[in-house]
Amino acid sequence: MTPFKSFILFLCFYLPAVAFQANAEPAESLTPAVPSIAASAFILQDFHTGKVLAENNADTKLAPASLTKIMTVYVAFKELGKGHLHLTDLATVSQKARDATGSRMFLETNQQVKIEDLLKGIIIQSGNDASIALAEHIAAQESTFADMMNQHAARLGMKNTHFTNSDGLPVENHYTTARDLAILTTALINEFPDYYPWFSQKEFTFNKITQHNRNLLLGRDESVDGVKTGHTDDAGYCLVASSLREGMRLISVVMGTKSSKARADENQKLLNYGFRFFESHRLYEGKKPLKEAKLWKGAESTVPLGVAEDLYATIPRRHYDELKATIVVDKKITAPVKEGDKFGSVSVALKGEVVSQKDLIALKSIEKGNIFRRAYDSIMMMMEKSDDK
């Protein structure tokens, strides 16, 4: 059997496919219109693929209120991951933190509080005092911590965001967008699965004071497991929500609604729309061989190729059987090969439109073969080149 025939059989086995249609209907028209959302800006995005399912004013710079705290805890989680911070560390509450206005954890000046309690006070109780205390513990002063927030925002690709404080209270030059918040939330859930369950916690008690999570969707929709509410007169009522149903996770961001009920209702509309009319599939598993490619002049004759991470596709419902996969492998792969080297790509299309694509990488390192192997392959490569002519 020729390599080409083997490749075709591989695709048929792993992914149902149909030929492209010359006059195929665009994938976007396969779903109904997005429902009307009463908000200044919103976005609905698939977690695994990043595909945007609905948006309006998603790049408009707006005051984020306490949605700021998603970045505040993200920075802290990063510091925990680096070993620069520990959940059992004690932070001393400053007068500035004690005097914070708005939602509070009710900390006292010079009180020593565990980092874990501060994080839960921020996530569940939306404590402005806890945000300042955490920022000062990590960076000595809040302005330095804001610099850290902005550095992470730039690294994540949050192109229309600038933070000035850790709590989100109104201040000049403090803004973000619905799209940037979706980027941040995706990174937080992806990078910190051990801490993310705190965002679904409905209440938290500190110093014998119990406060409830303001995210109304946590009590309304069992699939919702986060993320954060926000409100100021300037920002209106905001909510970043995330929901997981049957392996498909969606992130919705709604900014500038008129009430706490409205922000929950509008997010619920978006989530229901996304789950009703779209589906997400893991088509290929990361770090698993998709193809054994010919390797020239190597200690081995083939090299396994695959994708670095799981490849997902988000598509309109009931169109899975219409997906078509295409694998392109570089010609004349020559040793030495390092694990992670790119040697082609795999793409998946629906009705002629690419819906997902990733690089094909080497899944193992392979050194050069011995002198006899290299000499033999050099001759064979020249003969193949001659045949091509």
Nearest CA-CA partner of 348 in 290, 271, 262: 290
Residues pairing with 350 in the sheet: 323, 353
Strand 333-334 relative to strand 291-296: parallel, antiparallel, unpaired? parallel
For residues 121 and 128, what is the distance between their CA atoms, to the nearest angstrom? 9
Secondary structure of residue 383 in the 3-state scheme: helix
Q: Are 255 and 236 in contact (CB under 8 A)?
A: yes
For residues 255 and 240, what is the distance between their CA atoms, to the nearest angstrom? 8
How far does Cα 143 stand from its chain's mean position?
Answer: 27
Which DSSP state fits 15? S
Q: How many CB atoms lie within 10 A of CB 62?
A: 21
**Max Cα distance, the chain (Å):** 83
Place of tokens 């249609």: 21
For residues 47 and 249, what is the distance between their CA atoms, to the nearest angstrom? 5
Contacts of residue 66, defined as CB under 8 A and 6 or more positions apart, other chains included, come to 103, 126, 128, 167, 168, 228, 229, 230, 231, 238
User: What are the φ/ψ torsions at residue 320 (nearest 5 degrees)?
Assistant: -60, -40
Place of tokens 């078509």: 324
Catalytic residues: 66, 69, 126
Q: Which helix or strand (DSSP H or E) is residue 73 part of?
A: helix 68-82
Burial class of 338 by CB neighbour count within 10 A (0 to 12, 13 to 18, 19+): exposed
For residues 3 and 10, what is the distance between their CA atoms, to the nearest angstrom? 10
